Amino acid sequence: MTTSLTIGEIYARPPLMPLWPDFGRGVCRFSESTTYLLAAQKRLPVETVRLGRKQFVRTADVLTWLHLPENSEAATGATATASDEHSNESTAKKTGEHS
Model pLDDT, residue 75: 56
Is 27 within 8 Å of 10 (Cβ atoms)? yes
Q: Map residue 79 onto helix, strand or coil.
A: helix
CA 54 to chain centre: 21
Query: Residue ranges of the alpha helices (H) in the chain?
Result: 7-11, 32-40, 59-65, 72-95
pTM over 0.75: no
Model pLDDT, residue 92: 53
Residue-wise pLDDT tens digits, 32-70: 999 999 999 999 999 999 999 999 999 999 999 999 998
Task: Classify each residue of 34-72 as buried b or exposed e, where b means 16 or more C-beta atoms within 10 Å of its C-beta.
Answer: ebbebbeeeebebebeeeeeebbbbbebbbeeeebeeee
pLDDT band at 29 (very low <50, low <70, confident <90, very high): very high
**Residue 14, CA distances (Å) to 42, 56, 65 in order:** 22, 11, 17
